[in-house]
Each structure stands twice: as structure tokens, then as C-alpha cells.
Amino acid sequence: MTNEFLHFEKISRHTWQNLHRKKNPPLTESELNSIKSFNDEISLQDVTDVYLPLTNLIQIYKRSKEDLAFSKGIFLQKESKRQPFIIGVSGSVAVGKSTISRLLQILLSRTFTNATVELVTTDGFLYPNQTLIESDILNRKGFPESYNMELLLDFLDRIKNGQNYKIPVYSHEIYDIVPNEKQEIKAADFVIVEGINVFQNPQNERLYMTDFFDFSIYVDAEVENIESWYLDRFKKLLALAKHDTDNYYHRFTTQPEEEVMALAHNIWETINLVNLIDYIEPTRNRAEVILHKAKNHEIDEIYLKK
């Protein structure tokens, strides 16, 4: 075990699944398929074995946060304001963060009666392509400097204080921020914030995004597995873009497949892998829980901060 994991408890899937009373997952097979990213694998068995115990753990953290807020209120002799419980989900590109976040959204809204759960992806906080081109960093898209960190921190601050907030919308089809479109995020009971950058904040060393989180999850896997999932996803994106001329990936569909896949491999090597090694993975130990995925996308190990 490396030093990085010294303050984590390593738990096998077998042990983890027994930490929770077995009950039927509160969603159907078809619901699960509808939230699954198209290159991801996840089964109802995974929901029962891994994600129900995780929801249970979040319940414990939420209770302790409420107890602390109540006690602080007594200490300060003022009533504590109800705040959203904010969950950060991080990990590499193509590791399956979106699927896990959407699944958590459903599980939380059905575990906590009448709970509202908002899901935000940090893609919406990327600078528009035009801005990246002007700053000459379009090839650094996804790297820390390509995000409007000030806006992201302002959003977290407002949401934490129970205010609603309108955020920009990112589209993978056009590979850019959608002009004149906003998504309103309400100050819900739970707000899940998902993105490759949610544990980093290099532009303002005094404030980390993690300062706003009540619970955080890092989705981990071996680099060679993530690479093959990334290339697999690229292939599937090409297939989807074949007849859609507005799609960013359409331009690649006219080229020979081996040429395009060589390009995808190059993008992985020079951009996504560099970003993972330099900026994403070093923040892994800021998580409360690390979910480790095996080659078949199944969670095989869980690391829980001691």
C-alpha cells in the first residue's frame, strides 16, 4: 500500500456488500439502462452490493452534519439554516462518473422520502471554445486553466447558502458551451457536483471546491482500462455522429477508421492521460470514498477514509 492510502481503510466488495441489510434496489433494470452512459456497464447486482451500502454511508454523514449544525446553533445561540448536502464525484475522463452520479441521484431521492436531488456537471463551467482559442488553450480543454473557477466557486457558495443559481450548459454534441442556454439549479436537499476537476482549485489556493463538499467520491481504475474505455467511447460517439452533420464528431466519420482511432489514441496520450496524471489523480486522496473499478467496470475494492 502506498503512503497515499495510509489513511484509508481498504474494503473488498464482498465485505462491503455485507455492511448493509439486503433489500431490493429502488429502481428497475430499464431505469438503470436509461441512466447508463453508453460505454458503461452496471447491473442491479452492483446497485445492491455497492451503491445501496454507499447510500447508507451518505445517510450517516448527513445525520452527523445535521447534528453538528444543530449543536453549533446552540453554541452560537442562533438557529442553524438548512443547507444542501453537497456531494463531489471525481475521476478520469471515461471512468464512469456520470453513470454513478445519475444512479446516486435516483437512489438518494428514493431513499430519503421527498428529498430533492440536483445533479450538476462541471462541464458547464468550461470557458466557451472561442475564449479558449483567444487564450490559445483550446488544446488544454479539461485542464485546470480551461475552467471558469470563479464562477464555479460562486455557484457553490450560493447553493450552499440555499440560493438558486443559473449555470451555463455544455453539449458534447457540439463540443462547446451552448449559447444563450442556462440550467437552473435549485438549492435542493442534495446537490451532486460531478467532474474531473471537482477536487482541484489551482487558481485560488486559499479555497478548494472540496471545502464546500459534505461527502466526496473518487472513481478509480487502472490507466490501461480507462484508456480502452475512452477509445471504446470514441468509437461509439463516431457511430452516433455518422448521420448528424451538426455533431462535432461527424467530421471524423469521413476518414478511415484506423486513422481516426490513431487520432483518438493521440488525444488520450497527449491530453487526457497527462491531465489524469498531473491534475486529477493527485487529488484522489481528498475523497472520502474511493471506488475502484476492475476491467469489466465492476467495483472490486472500496477505500474509506479512516
> Which positions make up the binding site for ATP?
91-98
d(CA 74, CA 252): 61
Grid-cell match 452512459, residue found: 37
Grid-cell match 447491473, residue found: 43
The answer to whether 122 and 144 are in contact (CB under 8 A) is: no
The answer to whether 202 and 144 are in contact (CB under 8 A) is: yes
Give me the residues paired with residue 220 across strands: 292
The DSSP call for residue 19 is: T
The answer to whether 132 and 148 are in contact (CB under 8 A) is: no
Nearest to 91 by CA among 191, 218, 242: 218
d(CA 85, CA 87): 7
Rounded to 5 degrees, φ, ψ at 305 are -60, 135
Which residues have a Cβ under 8 Å from the Cβ of 116 and sit 6 or more positions away? Answer: 109, 186, 188, 189, 190
